A and B are shown apart, each in its own frame.
Chain A
Amino acid sequence: MIAEAGLAALWFAAALALLQLFLVGVGSAGGKSELLDAVRPVAVGQGLLASLAFVLLVTLFLRSDMSVLLVASNSHSMKPWLYKFAGTWGNHEGSMLLWVTVMGVAGAAVALFERALRRDAHMATLGAQAAISLGFYAFLLFSSNPFARIASPPTDGQGLNPLLQDPGLAFHPPTLYLGYVGLSVAFSFAVGALLTRQVDAAFARAMRPWVLGAWVLLTLGITAGSYWAYYELGWGGWWFWDPVENASLMPWLAATALLHSVTVLATRDALRAWTVMLAVIAFSMSMVGTFLVRSGILTSVHAFAVDPERGSFILGLLALYIGGALALFGWRIGTVREGAPFELVSRETMLVVNNLLLSVILGLVLIGTLYPLMTEAFGHKVSVGAPYFDRIAGPIALLLLIAMAAGPLTRWRRDQARVVAQRMLVPAIVAAIVAALLGALAWGRIGLLPYFGLVIALAVGFGSLAPLWKRKLRRTPLFTYGMVIAHLGCAVSVAGMACDSAFTVEKLVAVRPGDRIETAGWTLYFQRIMPIAGDNWTALQADIAVNRGGDAVMIHPQSRFFTAPPTSTTEAALLTRWNGQLYVVLGQEADDGRWQMRIWWKPFVTLIWLGGALIALGGLLSLIGHERRGWLHRWRARSAA
């Protein structure tokens, strides 16, 4: 019964989305405002029904109801409950249901809480949101029904890909999805603003919290995904430029640009057309990402649900929404008045530079990701690997970092180049000192990109703190702290990346129990190999005592075997110290009883993810800082009434 109830809830939610679109369309076109009065309750109802369908699917997974096809093919009764729960979205249908659920809830939130927009723009936004949701409802109901039953249920399921059986990955996809869907709301706002010809500061202020929220979640999702890949795949890398990784990076790049231009529009009423364009592009990138992951059009280490039928459905949605929005943009943007003017040396210009650099990186990543597809259309097979992306994205990212330090030190509207240069003096001195020191100590031993990366990262680290200089810290607005922390986070991440690529020491050995290994100042004593058993896996685990001068610490790299489905995974042992991580992977056993072992000492690698967390924290503080005044105001108004 639960599955049937879930399907019914999904159909009703889709019907309400259709009704919502109809009410907005007829109500706005015919000026019948009594129809528009019904839009908000309908949007809330749609969100509730979609949530109900999702909760029912979670219930089916938790109860291991093997008569449901999706559960039987993605779950197993022996799995720990957390992974039964996470298994709900660890597959194509479930993750699409999560997508529409989040969209429905977001639509309900826009209906309930949005106050800054004029009524017609608000209604047009809700109409656009319903139109997007409808496409995804149709996708679920006609091509990927998550509640389908099977005639003869198996006694047990096939299990979840063991790589996904990890607490980090259980929550990484939903975080990214919340981010993607937040961008869909920004897209709806842009469409609503174009339809009602209200591209102005009020529109930007209404859209900004959604962009900020989506951006914070995307940042967290990408950071978590990167750390997961680092410790779970056992290859010691933290970014692979895999099409699926790029699928999450591209919306983030667009959202970062959007975040900055929406701030310009909200505070200075400039960059109107550009902001609308970026809102369209940011959501387009989410959809292109979904398409690339779901269609199997590009081969990737973790593309799943390879299916041309589903691919063509998403491609249809892509054409409808993105093509439609871009056509609407071309048709309407000419009628939008130009915003406020600004001088060449001004914070506006710095933010335009930031936007352009981000867009260039986005374009290059997009080309790199799609290049194999382009050449295949002409009969060649090419794969584009990490070296291309590192080489093209690295230098531009460093330029971006410099702009990032200079931007907050520049005044709105008009400034003097000489004064800005003076404010940049301290970071410049830091850069010179670091460049000289690093050059003297390590010249010729580290690559050019890591060298400049470290120099610029340290200078920008100081530069990003500069806006707090000589200010009364307790009276500084929260969003200024947010900006400072997010910028500092970028510098910290880049420093981590540079240290990792410049100073990592790698060693591959074949050892017997009882052997001792020396590397990068560490001593590893390989004691023994023991079999151990977990909930639904068995493993061979090595006991290794490691020390560097002081007391020994035990670490336990494993090689795990899962029975359902039969797979083996590596569980690397990570030992975190303040100045880096020791990373040990247990490999295969050779015929003569020796074990392959791969050992990395990675100085300051943890800064990469610490920086990511700081960036997200900065975004969160800005969000609270911007919105707190509005919340307080509304709360007071309500308590007074």
Chain B
Amino acid sequence: MRKWLIWLPLFLFLGFFGLFASGLFKPDDRVIASKLIGQSLPAFTLPAAASDRPALASAQLATGAPRLLNIFASWCVPCAAEAPQLMALKNAGVEIDAIAIRDARPDVDAFLARNGNPYSRIGLDARSGVQIALGSSGVPETFVIDGRGRIAYQHIGDIRSDDVPMLLHRLKEAQ
């Protein structure tokens, strides 16, 4: 009885070790699913963030056709990195609106002049209120909005070039 009891801690530890190892090497599926998926956008009205694009309100996002809503900021480095992919999506015929987070109009203008402007409308969310209501925790993030103004998909982080076909597929599904 005592004899095997002495080895019990070692066996327990081996069990934990197996658990840790399986947890560490299993494929990563830590995608955070937003609670808002399938729900309507929260209502908001935002002033214009750029001098040559109109302002944005949630009502304008339910026009029958699916579209993208991109959350960005001029001070955000990954946002500049994803700019070419947004341009590619726009060239593929996707309508993209945007919300600029805690930004200033001259900064947004400079950012768009430097990185290109794929957006139809840009709203300014000066204190992140709308961002939080959307369940977004950082920049950049991109929402796929269906024709009735409901959130079909939330993409956290920058859009890489291999994400573009996936987003086009999601937009088609949201039809």
Q: Which residues of A contact B23 (CB under 8 A)?
A: 297, 373, 376-377
Q: Does B92 contact A (CB under 8 A)?
A: no
Find out whether the CB atom of A327 lies under 8 angstroms from the CB atom of B10. Answer: yes
In B25-42, the 8 Å CB interface with A consists of: 25-26, 30
Instruction: Known contacts A588-B127, A589-B127; decide if A323 and B13 are in contact (CB<8 Å).
Output: yes
Find out whether the CB atom of A566 lies under 8 angstroms from the CB atom of B13. Answer: no
Instruction: Known contacts A323-B14, A568-B128; decide if A297 and B20 are in contact (CB<8 Å).
Output: yes
Q: Which residues of B contact A312 (CB under 8 A)?
A: 24-25
> In this complex, what residue of B is CB-closest to A377?
B22
Q: Does A277 contact B (CB under 8 A)?
A: yes
Q: Does B76 contact A (CB under 8 A)?
A: yes
Find out whether the CB atom of B20 lies under 8 angstroms from the CB atom of A291. Answer: yes
> In this complex, what residue of B is CB-closest to A566?
B75
> In this complex, what residue of B is CB-closest to A273?
B6
Q: Which residues of A contact B139 (CB under 8 A)?
A: 566
Q: Does A322 contact B (CB under 8 A)?
A: yes
Find out whether the CB atom of A588 lies under 8 angstroms from the CB atom of B19. Answer: no
Q: Does B132 contact A (CB under 8 A)?
A: yes
Q: Does B93 contact A (CB under 8 A)?
A: no
Instruction: Known contacts A566-B73, A588-B129; decide if A370 and B19 are in contact (CB<8 Å).
Output: yes
Q: Give the contact stretch, choosing among A328-336, A384-392, A423-431.
A: A328-336
Q: Which residues of A contact B113 (CB under 8 A)?
A: none
Whole-angstrom distance between the alpha carbons of A288 and B15 in the complex?
13
Find out whether the CB atom of B17 lies under 8 angstroms from the CB atom of A588. Answer: no
Whole-angstrom distance between the alpha carbons of A377 and B22 in the complex?
7
Q: Does A141 contact B (CB under 8 A)?
A: no
Find out whether the CB atom of A297 lies under 8 angstroms from the CB atom of B24. Answer: yes
Q: Does A374 contact B (CB under 8 A)?
A: yes
Instruction: Known contacts A315-B21, A370-B19, A563-B75; decide if A277 and B132 are in contact (CB<8 Å).
Output: no
Whole-angstrom distance between the alpha carbons of A342 and B16 in the complex?
35
Whole-angstrom distance between the alpha carbons of A557 and B26 in the complex?
44
Task: Please count the residue pairs between chain A and chain B whose beta carbons lie under 8 angstroms apart in the complex.
Answer: 73
Q: Which residues of B contact A568 (CB under 8 A)?
A: 102, 128
Q: Which residues of A contact B14 (CB under 8 A)?
A: 323
Q: Does B64 contact A (CB under 8 A)?
A: no
Find out whether the CB atom of A315 lies under 8 angstroms from the CB atom of B17. Answer: yes
Find out whether the CB atom of B7 lies under 8 angstroms from the CB atom of A330. Answer: yes
Q: Does A382 contact B (CB under 8 A)?
A: no
In A291-328, the 8 Å CB interface with B consists of: 291, 295, 297, 299, 308, 311-312, 315, 318-319, 322-323, 326-327
Q: Which residues of A contact B73 (CB under 8 A)?
A: 566
Q: Does A99 contact B (CB under 8 A)?
A: no
Whole-angstrom distance between the alpha carbons of A374 and B16 in the complex?
10
Instruction: Known contacts A308-B24, A308-B25; decide if A589 and B129 are in contact (CB<8 Å).
Output: yes
Whole-angstrom distance between the alpha carbons of A280 and B10 in the complex?
11
Query: Which of B3, B10, B73, B127 lies at the interface centre, i.e. has the most chain A CB atoms within 10 A of its CB?
Result: B10
Q: Does A189 contact B (CB under 8 A)?
A: no
Q: Does A241 contact B (CB under 8 A)?
A: no
Q: Does B9 contact A (CB under 8 A)?
A: yes
> In this complex, what residue of B is CB-closest to A291?
B20
Q: Which residues of B contact A333 (CB under 8 A)?
A: 6
In B119-133, the 8 Å CB interface with A consists of: 127-129, 132
Whole-angstrom distance between the alpha carbons of A589 and B128 in the complex?
10
> In this complex, what residue of B is CB-closest to A366?
B16
Q: Does A136 contact B (CB under 8 A)?
A: no
Chain A: number of interface residues, binned into ranges: 35 or more
Chain B: number of interface residues, binned into ranges: 20 to 34
> In this complex, what residue of A is CB-closest to B10?
A326
> In this complex, what residue of A is CB-closest to B28?
A308
Find out whether the CB atom of B9 lies under 8 angstroms from the CB atom of A277. Answer: yes
- Chain B proximity of A148: nearest CB distance (Å): 21
Consensus secondary structure, chain A interface: helix
- Chain A proximity of B130: nearest CB distance (Å): 10
Q: Which residues of B contact A370 (CB under 8 A)?
A: 16, 19
Whole-angstrom distance between the alpha carbons of A438 and B23 in the complex?
48
Whole-angstrom distance between the alpha carbons of A637 and B3 in the complex?
46
> In this complex, what residue of B is CB-closest to A540?
B127
Q: Which residues of B contact A137 (CB under 8 A)?
A: none
In A557-602, the 8 Å CB interface with B consists of: 561, 563, 566, 568, 588-591
- Chain B proximity of A190: nearest CB distance (Å): 13
Query: Which of B9, B76, B129 lies at the interface centre, i.e. has the most chain A CB atoms within 10 A of its CB?
Result: B9
Q: Which residues of A contact B17 (CB under 8 A)?
A: 315, 318-319, 323
Instruction: Known contacts A370-B16, A374-B19; decide if A329 and B24 are in contact (CB<8 Å).
Output: no
- The listed residue (A284, A327, A373) touching B19 by CB distance below 8 A is A373
- Chain A proximity of B7: nearest CB distance (Å): 5
> In this complex, what residue of B is CB-closest to A297?
B23
> In this complex, what residue of A is CB-closest to B20?
A315
Q: Which residues of A contact B25 (CB under 8 A)?
A: 308, 312
Find out whether the CB atom of A329 lies under 8 angstroms from the CB atom of B6. Answer: yes
- The listed residue (B10, B19, B45) touching A323 by CB distance below 8 A is B10
- Chain B proximity of A333: nearest CB distance (Å): 6
Whole-angstrom distance between the alpha carbons of A318 and B13 in the complex?
10
In A196-225, the 8 Å CB interface with B consists of: none
Q: Which residues of A contact B75 (CB under 8 A)?
A: 563, 566
- Chain B proximity of A108: nearest CB distance (Å): 30
Q: Which residues of A contact B45 (CB under 8 A)?
A: 591
Q: Which residues of B contact A590 (CB under 8 A)?
A: 129
Q: Which residues of B contact A322 (CB under 8 A)?
A: 13
Find out whether the CB atom of A377 lies under 8 angstroms from the CB atom of B19. Answer: yes
Whole-angstrom distance between the alpha carbons of A376 and B10 in the complex?
24
Q: Which residues of A contact B76 (CB under 8 A)?
A: 566
Instruction: Known contacts A308-B25, A566-B73, A566-B75; decide if A318 and B20 are in contact (CB<8 Å).
Output: yes
Binary flags per residue of A355-383, CB closer than 8 Å to B gives 1, else 0: 00000000000000010011011000000
Find out whether the CB atom of B24 lies under 8 angstroms from the CB atom of A311. Answer: yes
Whole-angstrom distance between the alpha carbons of A320 and B83 in the complex?
48
In B99-129, the 8 Å CB interface with A consists of: 102, 127-129
Whole-angstrom distance between the alpha carbons of A202 and B39 in the complex?
68
- Chain A proximity of B24: nearest CB distance (Å): 5
In B134-149, the 8 Å CB interface with A consists of: 139
Q: Which residues of A contact B102 (CB under 8 A)?
A: 561, 566, 568
Find out whether the CB atom of B6 lies under 8 angstroms from the CB atom of A334. Answer: yes
> In this complex, what residue of B is CB-closest to A564?
B75
Whole-angstrom distance between the alpha carbons of A329 and B45 in the complex?
68
Q: Which residues of A contact B26 (CB under 8 A)?
A: 376-377
Q: Which residues of B contact A374 (CB under 8 A)?
A: 19
Find out whether the CB atom of B9 lies under 8 angstroms from the CB atom of A326. Answer: yes
- Chain A proximity of B151: nearest CB distance (Å): 21
Whole-angstrom distance between the alpha carbons of A330 and B13 in the complex?
13
- Chain A proximity of B55: nearest CB distance (Å): 14
Query: Which of B9, B10, B13, B23 lies at the interface centre, i.e. has the most chain A CB atoms within 10 A of its CB?
Result: B23
Q: Which residues of A contact B7 (CB under 8 A)?
A: 330
Query: Which of A281, A322, A330, A588 lies at the interface centre, i.e. has the most chain B CB atoms within 10 A of its CB?
Result: A330
- Chain A proximity of B166: nearest CB distance (Å): 23
Name 9 interchain pairs, CB-CB below 8 A, sorted by A.
Answer: A288-B16, A297-B24, A330-B6, A330-B7, A377-B26, A566-B73, A566-B139, A588-B132, A589-B129
Q: A277-B9, A295-B20, A330-B10 are in contact. List 5 more A-B contacts (CB 8 A).
A: A312-B25, A318-B17, A323-B10, A370-B19, A563-B75
Rank and list the top 9 A-B pairs by shortest CB-CB distance, nearest first. Answer: A326-B10, A330-B7, A297-B23, A330-B6, A373-B23, A311-B24, A326-B9, A588-B129, A377-B22
